[in-house]
Structure 1
Amino acid sequence: MARPACRYCLILSEHEADYRVRPARHALDSTHPRCDLHWRFVCAVCGHARHFNGVAFCHRKEALFCLFCAKGHRADSRRLWAWDYAYRLRCPWRAEWHPALDRLERDHRHPWDLRPAWRRGRRGMDPSEEIPDRWSFRVGPMKGLTDADVRKGWDDIAEWWVSRYSAKGDVNREWVIDPALLRILGDVRGMRILDAGCGTGYLGRILAKRGARVDGVDVSGGQLEAARAEEKRAPLGIRLHRADLARLSMFRGGTFDTAVSNIVLQDVLHLRAAVREIHRVLRPGGRFVFSITHPAFEAPVPGRWVIEPADSERIEDRKGMLVDRYFDRPAVYWGPPGKPLAVGFHRPLRDYFAAVSAAGFLVSRYEEPLPLPEALRRFPRFFRDMVRLPNFLIVEAVKPSRGGGQEGSGRGRSGVMVK
């Protein structure tokens, strides 16, 4: 059977009369069967293969690198065949900007053009024939899972998880979640704060540097090991504890002024028990500020982006999101390809508000944070989706003072306070 033509070659031939159309060798059953030149190339930094439109080449280093390992990326608005832009990636080895491989092909500066031996040996090209999933997912019943299962999952991925973090967290925390979270927390000087699900401890360190007295709690010994190492290296007086959030017996009632939980509760097995415990350890009038992945759009349940081709890094190739089975409550096993899977839980939004209300909190604020403008400028591929749909939700809830509601607030419907 004859191979189909490369979809990209066909597109380019519509804009360049003498462009040679090559037979496809990869993704033959997809909407975009592709030739070797228009396939996936392996990043010399992370070792992952990416779509050619998200890979650049450093001529000095003689190495390919991907959009995810670049120190930044921009959309170069010069027209490129059928497209209005192509990416430029900032080199991870030198302070230089390099065009992605699609622009290099147009300018006859692709490494396969400049180095014939590379073309003959298909150097840098991923040898696989199909597009792998970006993430590994498996959905199963929540029933039968134990705290030990959750702990093991997080300990199994701890090394990989810690490797993604800087002193400012990962890219989503630095550029989307934390600016809004820290604004809601406000002035924390002198406050006793519980970092509930502290992980690597980066957020607790930010709060401690702002004058808070911080206790961090996490279920993962592997992540706490990283947090303790950082506290030993640069002490800030942070106390770290290994425990499930549903069992905070090391703290007396009313210990904390504020509790913060940053992208944690969707991974907690016993949600209501955890929120009750956080309520118990807060003083009357204390605040619980938490962020979660947005239940309406989190992957793979209920949301899944439709991308054609599935590995493209071009923003416009993300056609939209399919949302289904929102009211299901499955366990979701997830992780990067080739790594162990951690387990989290999809719940409809009402489950979170029901847990907060049942514990005795009054919700005073919620926010669906947008990326900072600087993030959209510096990392358009990572954050442009988030101005289409919210990825995260932040909620502020208050433990009422003894004898009444929160001063300066009125009581709204369903136990939600409005200001």
Structure 2
Amino acid sequence: MARPPCRYCTLIREHASGYKLRPARHALDTSFPRCDLHWRFVCGVCGKPRHFNGVAFCGRRQAFFCLACAAEHPADSRRFWGWTYSYRLRCPWQEGSHPTLDRLEFEGRHPWQLLPAWARTKRGMSPVEEIPDRWAFRVAPMKGITDEAVRQGWDDVAAWWVSRYTAKGDINREWVIDPAVLEILGNVKGRRILDAGCGTGYLARILAEAGASVDGIDVSAKQLEAARKDQAQETLEIRYRQGDLANLSPFRGGTFDIAVSNIVLQDVRRLREAVKEVYRVLRPGGRFVFSITHPAFEAPVPGTWVLEPADSERIEDRRGMIVDRYFDRVAVYWGPPGQFLAVGFHRPLRDYFEALHDAGFLVSRYEEPLPRAEALKRFPRYFRDMLRLPNFLIVEAVRPARR
């Protein structure tokens, strides 16, 4: 039985009539069957295969590397064939950047074009036929999930979690969430702040460097180990303790001027109790600023992107998002494939606002942060989707002053 032509070869031939059609050898049971040249290539840094349009080649190193291992990946807006851009990936081994393999093929500089022996031996191509999911998810009923399961989950993923962080947090916090959170917080010099769910302590350190006195609390002992290790190298006014946000009994009522909780509350099992406790430890007139993953669009409940082909790194290949089961209240186990999974919780947005109202807070501000221009320039693959749908939201709520 004859193999179908490679879908990418077919698309290219629509713009270059003399282009050779190659038989598809991979993804034959999908709408995007692909030839060897247009399959997946193995990164020389992380060892993982990735779609050819997210892989570049360093000639000096004679090695492929992927978008995830590049410090940045700005878009090259020169048109080629039917596409309006490609990526340039910052080289992990030397100064400069390199175009991805789709652009290299267009220019006749793909290593398989320049080195026929590489094409014959399929050098760099992944032999694995399966296209793995980018994230592993498991949905379960909320009932039966314990505080201990939440704590254990965050201890289990601590090593992977900490590895993703710099002094400015992970990529989403640095480029999307924190600029908006810090703008809302304003001048914190001389303020007593609770970092509720401090994790690695990176935000506590940012606030302390700005002149605040910070108490960080987190459920995970291993996350706090990382926080204390970094603090030992600095002289900042930060105190860390292990604990649950639903029980802030170590703190007296009215202790804090500000409480901040950065992408935490969606992972708190006893949400209402936690919000009441934050209200209690704030002084009258104190502010509670928190961010969460957006309940209307978070994956896998209720949002799932439709991506064709499933491993493409091109933004336009995300056809749209299917949103369903928004009103479900479920536990969501999540993490990288093959690693431990942490547990969080999907709730409709009204649950957060009801918790605030019932505790006595008045909501003073609501934001759905967008990536800044510099983020879009340096990391278009990660952030342009956020111009279509919000990934995060931020709320400022106030404990009313006594009259």
What TM-score does the superposition give when structure 1 sets the normalisation length?
Answer: 0.94
Q: Is the 8 Å Cα contact of residues 25 and 129 (structure 1) preserved in structure 2?
A: no
Matches within 5 A, 1:114-125: 114-125=114-125
User: How much does 1:27 deviate?
Assistant: 1.3
Rounded Cα–Cα distance in structure 1 between residues aligned with 2:112 and 2:248: 59
State the distance in 2 between where 1:190 and 1:178 align. Answer: 20
For 1:400, the equivalent position in structure 2 comes to 400
**1:277 equivalent in structure 2:** 277
Distance in structure 2 (CA, Å) of the matches to 1:137 and 1:3? 34
- Deviations 1:278-328, CA, capped at 9 Å, x for gaps: 111111111100000011111111111111111111111111111111000
Q: Which residue of 2 aligns with 1:305?
A: 305
- Per the alignment, residue 330 of structure 2 pairs with 330
Q: Which residue is 2:80 aligned to? A: 80
The residue number in structure 2 matching 1:238 is 238
Question: Structure 2 CA distance, aligned partners of 1:16 and 1:350?
Answer: 53
Q: Structure 2 CA distance, aligned partners of 1:92 and 1:211?
A: 36
Q: How many residues align?
A: 403
Equivalent residue of 2:199, what SS?
coil
Q: CA deviation at 1:82?
A: 1.2
Measured in 2, the distance between the counterparts of 1:362 and 1:48 equals 48
Could you list the per-position Cα deviations for residues 184-231 of structure 1 after superposition, in whole angstroms to 9, with x for gaps in the alignment? Answer: 000000100000000110001000000000011111111111101000
Q: RMSD of the alignment, in Å?
A: 1.1
Is the Cα contact below 8 Å between 2:212 and 2:237 reproduced in 1? no
TM-score, scaled relative to structure 2: 0.98
- State the partner residue of 2:133: 133
Q: Which amino acid in structure 1 is aligned with residue 161 of structure 2?
A: W
In structure 2, the partner of 1:363 is 363
SS at match of 1:33: coil
Aligned counterpart, 1:25: 25
Structure 1 equivalent of residue 290 of structure 2: 290
Separation in structure 1 between the aligned mates of residue 160 and residue 129 of structure 2, nearest angstrom = 27
Output one character per residue of 1:146-195: Cα deviation in whole Å (capped at 9) or x when no partner. 01111111111110110100001111111110011000000000100000
In 2, Cα distance between the equivalents of 1:265 and 1:232?
28
Cα pair 1:26 1:130 within 8 Å, conserved:
no
Once residues 119 and 233 of structure 2 are traced to their aligned partners in structure 1, the CA distance between those partners, rounded to angstroms, is: 48
Report whether the alignment pairs 1:57 with 2:57.
yes
Task: Report matched runs for 1:14-413 at 5 Å.
Answer: 14-403=14-403
The 1-side partners of 2:356 and 2:218 are apart by: 20
TM-superposed CA distance for 1:248, in Å, is 1.3
Counterpart Cα distance in 1 of 2:114 and 2:340: 40
Paired amino acid for 2:386: M
- The amino acid that maps onto 2:378 is R
- What's the offset of the Cα at 1:118? 2.5
CA distance in structure 1 between the aligned counterparts of 2:365 and 2:252, rounded to whole angstroms = 27
Separation in 2, partners of 1:224, 1:124: 40
Question: Take 2:277 and 2:354, find their aligned partners in 1: how far apart are those partners?
Answer: 15
Deviation beyond 6 Å, 4+ runs, structure 1: none
Contact persistence 1:367–1:394 (CA under 8 A): yes
SS in 2 for 1:257: strand
Alpha-carbon distance, 1:253 to partner = 1.0
Partner Cα distance (1:132, 1:148) in 2: 30
Q: In 2, distance between residues paired with 1:48 and 1:242?
A: 36
Take 1:401 and 1:35, find their aligned partners in 2: how far apart are those partners?
67
Please, which moves more after superposition, 154-163 or 73-82? Answer: 73-82
Shift of 1:387: 0.9
Where do 5+ consecutive residues of structure 2 fail to align? none
2:343 aligned counterpart, secondary structure: strand
1:375 positional shift:
0.7
Alignment of 1:6 onto 2:6:
yes
Deviation of residue 70 (structure 1)?
1.1
Q: Which runs of 5+ in 1 are unaligned?
A: 404-419
| Offset at residue 377 of structure 1 (A) | 1.3
1:120: Cα distance to partner?
Answer: 2.8
CA distance in structure 1 between the aligned counterparts of 2:243 and 2:114, rounded to whole angstroms? 57
How far apart are 1:92 and its partner, in Å?
Answer: 1.7
Which AA in structure 1 matches 2:395?
V
More off after superposition, 2-11 vs 345-354: 2-11
Q: CA deviation at 1:385?
A: 0.7
CA distance in 1, matches of 2:398, 2:105: 57
2-structure distance, mates of 1:194, 1:95: 41
More off after superposition, 111-120 vs 96-105:
111-120
Instruction: Tell me by how many angstroms 1:352 deviates.
Output: 0.3
